[in-house]
Amino acid sequence: MQMLIRSFFAFWLMLAAGFAQAGWDEAAVIVDDTTRNVLAVLDDESMKEEARFGDLLNEVDRVLTPVVDFDYIAKRVMGKYYRRANTQQREQFSGVFKTTLLKTYARALVGFQIESYRLAKPAKESPDANKQAISVVVKSANGTEFTLVYFMLKRDDRWTLVNASLDGINLRLTFKNQFANMAQEQRGKVGAVITSWRKQVEITAGQDS
């Protein structure tokens, strides 16, 4: 009887491990395809020119929007202030935050001058098959390597990116801290924070034009 019970648990552990591996493989395909599509945009060397930053931004938007859950990320960046915001404010911040992420990513692409990349298998499997961290080791033109980690979430049978880190720097947490600091300066007024954030994006847009 005990042998039967052990065999039963062993079976379910192997099955769970199989699901976890399948989850990583599924998410990795999305990350790989998206990375290749982004780098394909940069095959046009003129896209790296300052004068064409707007065009690059549009192409990055086209590639990332189907994959990145901007609303999900924006909600968590707002943190506790999300509950204080009304529907209009939540939508406003999601929109301005999307622009922030796209501009940040596009600038990074040009700055790093990516030469090649490879996906790295995780040291251990995720305990939740629907949550996967996909590590991408990127090599720049000068030979420097850095690691990007894309945090993927599967909901409604669809994988989306909900966070990322660069060499250990958590992007979502960094922006969340920034929002919290601005909220403290604005005495918790969410609308004022969004207005200030938008102005900063507009200033940067002016510098990019």
Task: Look up the pTM and report it.
Answer: 0.84
pLDDT at position 123, please?
84
Sheet holding 131-140, edge to edge: 114-120, 131-140, 145-155, 158-166, 169-170
pLDDT per position as a tens digit, 52-65: 999 999 999 999 99
pLDDT at position 4, please?
40
The token duo for 17 is: 């491990």
pLDDT per position as a tens digit, 151-190: 999 999 999 999 999 989 999 999 999 999 999 999 999 9
Where along the chain do its domains lie? 2-208
Matching CATH number, 2-208, of 3.30.360.10, 3.10.450.710, 1.10.340.30, 3.40.718.10: 3.10.450.710
Q: Which residues of the chain have pLDDT under 50?
A: 1-20
Report yes or no: 55 and 47 within 8 Å, Cβ to Cβ: yes
